[in-house]
Each structure stands twice: as C-alpha cells, then as structure tokens.
Amino acid sequence: MKAAVLSDIHGNHIALETCMEEIHRRDINKLIFLGDYVGELAYPQKTMALIKELKRNYECYFVRGNKEDYWIDYKKGSEITWKDNNSTTGMLLYAYQNLTNEDILFFESLSHVQIISFEGMPAIAAYHGSHNRNDQKLKLNTDNSAQLFLDAKETIILCGHTHIRNELMQDGRLLLNPGSAGVPLESQGKAQFMVLSGENSTWNYEFIDLPYDVERVIAELHEENLFVKAPCWSRVTEEVLRYGNISHGTVLSRAMQLLYNDTGKWCWPDIPEKYWEKAVEEICHST
C-alpha cells in the first residue's frame, strides 16, 4: 500500500504536474494533500483544474491550509482590504479573483484535521500547520511540536506549512513534513513530496526531490503582470523558486521592522512599498 503526500503547492501547477508524473510512474493511486493549494503563482485556475482532475482519478484526502482560510474569510467580507499593485496584498487579491465560487465551496468543505485510516495500517493524523492552528509552524525540537506528540493519538503525524522538509521521532511516534511541492525552502529549486509505504502494519517513508522547469514558472509570473500587481512579493517568489534560501515571511518581517524603525509603529497590511523595496535589496539576490 502506497500513498503520496503533497503540501504547499501555492499555485505551482508546473511543479504539481511534475510530481504527478513521478507518482504515476510509481503506480501510486492514493494522494494526501496538506493544504495551501494556490497563493503565490500565476494561473491559479490551472492548479485548481488539475486538483479537480486528480479528485476524479485518484483516492484523495485533503486538508485545509491557512491560505484557504484567507479566501474563505475574504468572500465572507473580511475587514482587511486587499489592493492591486501592492506587495503586501496584491497577490492575495490576484489569486482570489482567479478562484471560482466552486473553488471556495471546495475549500469550505475541507477540515483543518484529517484522521486517515487504510485497512490493516495504523491511522495517520494529517494537518497543515498543527492540530491547534493551521498557521502554526511545527519545527524540530520546539515546544509546540513536543506538545503535539502529547496530544495526538496517532503514531504517524503529517504536517506542512513551513515549506521545509522535517522528520522527528519521539516515543515511537513520527512527525513528517514532506516539504513544499510548489515553493520549497532549502531544496535547491526542486519540487518536493513524500511517499508513504505500508506493509505488515508498519509505515515507511521516502522523501522525493524533483527538478522541474522553474524558469517557465517565473515566465508565467511575468505573463500575468504579477511583478506589477504584487511587485516585491513577486520578486521574493522568484528568489524562492531559484534559490530557496529565504522566505516571504523573512522579507515581510524585515519590511515591517524598517517601517517601525522610521515611524515607531506598523499596522499590517499597510506597509509602504519603499520598505518592501529596502527589505528586498537587503535580503534577496534577484534585485
């Protein structure tokens, strides 16, 4: 029995297609998705169309990520206004405008937690972030990852959100993060997923790294004018895709710190572009 585990696609339909080619080659027909299906890249409708196709042709299990909560909350009338030509929220607005009502309803149908059982095998707990919050990062040897081992009953725990591959064993329980299929960190520009193999009531796992056409993904950012719609955010995306050594959160935090240094205050998402530009110049290669 085998299942592929994919997380944090973030709209990278090209990377997802590459992962699915390898999954098909391995004759795997069970897919576990850990959330964040669109969000940073061009043509989110292509990713959603592929996910719908996979739902028809594979045995699929889906978890809701924190990005899905953004789209759901915005549709309900979030108090926060997203703006075009804005590094903080321009990409959020672009993705939302390219989602259908059917897509939002699909996201609403998903749970933040999935307990997945396959015949004859130990149950699997699947989250995006953690069992408490889908935007909580479970990292190695942190208090929240240790608490998860105390709270979860399952021996295999899957999570995503950090975009960094992770494995942690404690008291006979295993926490696994497959990394990110779409915008991975620390992967040298390769798409990531994981294969779970079950035999004799025991789970084994294999991490997979796949080269794919990163330059085509970046070209699509330009085709959709995303360096205008979300200027610095897209520059960071290009950096992540090519090098995988910094995160959007790192650059955002620096922009917020620069704003605070000048004004003594900040209020997300109102971060002037000049602070984004300074942060990108300090941190990124692709300036």
pLDDT reading at 123 higher than 60: yes
pLDDT of residue 287: 42
At which residue do the structure tokens 């390219």 appear?
A: 98
Residues ≥6 apart with Cβ < 8 Å to 65: 8, 34, 35, 36, 37, 128, 129, 134, 160, 161
Q: Find the angle CA(6)-CA(216)-CA(209) to the nearest 5 degrees.
A: 35
3-state secondary structure 162-189: CCCCEEEEECCEEEEECCCCCCCCCCCC
What percent of the chain has a predicted confidence (pLDDT) above 70?
A: 91
pLDDT at 144 over 60: no
Instruction: Give pTM, 2 decimals.
Output: 0.94
Question: CB count, 10 Å around CB of 87?
Answer: 28
pLDDT above 80 for 136: no
pLDDT score of 260 more than 60: yes
* pLDDT exceeds cutoff 90 at 78: no
Written as one letter, the residue type at 269 is P
Among 40, 64, 38, 86, which residue's Cα sits nearest to residue 268?
Answer: 86
CA distance 133 to 152: 14
Answer yes or no: is pLDDT of 51 > 90. yes
pLDDT of the residue at 138:
63
d(CA 131, CA 169): 17
pLDDT of 272 reads 96
Give the lowest-confidence range in 58-62, 78-82, 150-154. Answer: 150-154
Q: Is 60 exceeded by the pLDDT of residue 53?
A: yes
Select the more confidently predicted residue: 175 or 87: 87
The domain ranges of the chain are 2-210, 216-283
pLDDT exceeds 90 at position 221? yes
Average pLDDT of 119-125? 92
Stretch among 116-120, 147-151, 227-231, 259-263 having the lowest mean pLDDT: 147-151
- Which pLDDT belongs to residue 142? 55
Query: Model confidence over 179-198: pLDDT tens digits?
Result: 999 999 999 899 999 999 99
What does the pLDDT average to over 120-147? 73
Residue 137 has pLDDT above 70, yes or no: no
Question: Is the pLDDT at 206 greater than 60, yes or no?
Answer: yes
Mean pLDDT of 150-177: 86
| CB-based contact 45:16 (threshold 8 Å) | no
Q: Which of 39, 50, 60 is nearest to 14 (CA)?
A: 50
**Helix 231-242 × helix 90-97 angle, to 10°:** 90
Measure the CA dihedral 246/147/107/219, to 10°: 10
Question: In angstroms, rounded to a whole number, what is the distance separating the alpha carbons of residues 249 and 237?
Answer: 11
User: What value does the mean pLDDT take over residues 145-162?
Assistant: 78
Question: Can you name the residues that pair with 116 across neighbouring β-strands?
Answer: 124
**Residue 252: φ, ψ to 5°:** -60, -45
Token pair of 222 as six digits: 């330009």
Fold of 2-210: Purple Acid Phosphatase; chain A, domain 2 (3.60.21)
- pLDDT (average), residues 204-227: 98
| pLDDT attached to residue 54 | 98
Tokens of 216: 């085509």
Mean pLDDT for all residues in the chain: 92
- Alpha carbons 110 and 42: distance in angstroms, whole number: 23
User: pLDDT of 230-248, one tens digit each?
Assistant: 999 999 999 999 999 899 9
